[in-house]
């Protein structure tokens, strides 16, 4: 037990880093952490709130945070890959929970092993166990497997619910997202004039390629070759 900044903290060793926790449960990394303290946060969609994860990082004095707003179904995430390239031996990685790193058990165990081999310390705020020990590795595997099982069970229930709704004639599927035709034409004019690329146009309209090109054809845009499109509005009969 020691005193830090006028408060009494209880000391706990986590993979070589010293975490001091006071009576209120507030934590802080001491100077014994050699390298940088890096945070990684992830939510599955743009609409989900990151605030809870980021606030938790403040207690650990995070130097730099990498954020992905996309599914954790695989490891092909821009900021995850950027973080892996940024981390160095002696750094400490903070995550709110291990599921933020990966959703599948296989991906999570592979990432943890990769980080361990790099000499990076991993601290999960929610799950407090040391993954450098056999017992910790077992706990991590069990947590990951249970989480994956719960997600697969949820997907199975959703599929069963949709099948029942379809059988009863109640399922209408995902409703199309409305768009403004004037805005669509405005951005497409810039695209055809070479002022912006098709990808930039889709990004401004917040559309994926399949939907963008389908709507373009419906509104009179026609592909003339591999690179060029023209606008031929439908003539009124």
Model pLDDT, residue 93: 93
Residue-level pLDDT at 234? 60
- β-strand partners of 93: 38, 122
pLDDT for the residue numbered 147: 64
Same domain, 125 and 224: no
What's residue 38's pLDDT? 95
Which residue has tokens 């004019």? 189
- Residue 204: domain span: 181-231
- From the list 121, 118, 119, 124, the residue with the least C-alpha distance to 140 is 124
| Domains held by the chain: number | 2
Domain assignment of residue 156, yes or no? no
61 three-state secondary structure: coil
β 37-43/64-69 pair status: parallel
Each residue's pLDDT tens digit in the chain (237 positions)?
Answer: 443 334 433 333 444 444 444 444 445 554 445 689 999 999 988 778 888 899 989 888 999 999 999 988 889 999 999 999 999 999 999 999 888 998 888 888 889 889 988 999 888 888 876 666 777 777 777 766 766 767 676 777 777 777 777 777 776 766 667 888 899 999 999 999 999 999 999 999 988 888 899 899 989 998 888 778 988 876 544
In this prediction, residue 105 carries a pLDDT of: 81
Same domain, 195 and 137: no
Q: Where does a domain end: 86, 121, 145?
A: 145
Q: Give the residue from 125, 145, 165 where a domain finishes.
A: 145
The verdict on pTM exceeding 0.75 is no
Query: Residue 13 maps to which CATH number?
Result: 3.40.50.1390
Which position among 27, 44, 104, 159 bears the catalytic label? Answer: 44
Residue found under tokens 């017992």? 135
If asked whether residues 119 and 224 sit together in one domain, one would say no
Q: Which among 113, 89, 115, 111 has a CA at the least distance from the CA of 100?
A: 111
| Residue 173 forms part of a structural domain | no
Are 101 and 72 in contact by the 8 Å Cβ rule? The answer is yes
Residue 134, pLDDT score: 76
Q: Are residues 95 and 199 in the same domain?
A: no
**131 and 14 part of one domain:** yes
- Nearest to 79, CA basis, from 91, 65, 67, 71: 67
In 3D space, the residue among 71, 63, 37, 65 whose CA is nearest the CA of residue 53 turns out to be 65
In a domain, 237, yes or no: no
| Whole-number pLDDT of residue 132 | 67
Residues 202 and 141 in one domain: no
99 noted as active-site residue: no
User: Is residue 35 within 8 Å of residue 42, measured between CB atoms?
Assistant: no
Quick check: is 18 in a domain? Answer: yes
The torsion angle over the Cα atoms of residues 113, 114, 120 and 124, rounded to 10 degrees, is -50
Task: Please check whether residues 94 and 211 belong to one and the same domain.
Answer: no
């Amino acid at each position: 037990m020691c005193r830090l900044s006028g408060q009494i903290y209880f000391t706990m060793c986590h993979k070589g880093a010293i975490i001091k926790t006071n009576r209120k449960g507030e934590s802080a990394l001491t100077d014994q952490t050699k390298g940088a303290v890096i945070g990684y946060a992830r939510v599955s969609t743009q609409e989900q709130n990151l605030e809870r994860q980021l606030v938790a990082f403040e207690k650990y004095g995070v130097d730099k945070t990498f954020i992905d707003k996309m599914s954790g179904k695989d490891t092909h995430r821009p900021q995850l890959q950027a973080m892996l390239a940024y981390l160095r031996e002696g750094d400490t990685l903070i995550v709110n929970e291990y599921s933020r790193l990966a959703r599948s058990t296989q991906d999570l165990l592979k990432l943890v092993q990769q980080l361990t081999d790099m000499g990076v310390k991993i601290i999960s705020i929610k799950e407090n166990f040391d993954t450098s020990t056999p017992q910790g590795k077992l706990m991590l595997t069990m947590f990951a497997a249970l989480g994956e099982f719960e997600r697969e069970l949820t997907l199975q229930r959703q599929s069963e619910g949709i099948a029942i709704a379809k059988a009863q004639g109640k399922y209408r599927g995902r409703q199309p997202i409305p768009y403004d035709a004037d805005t669509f034409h405005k951005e497409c004019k810039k695209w055809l004039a070479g002022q912006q690329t098709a990808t930039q146009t889709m990004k401004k309209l917040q559309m994926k390629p399949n939907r963008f090109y389908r709507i373009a054809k419906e509104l009179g845009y026609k592909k003339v070759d591999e690179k060029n499109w023209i606008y031929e509005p439908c003539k009124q009969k």
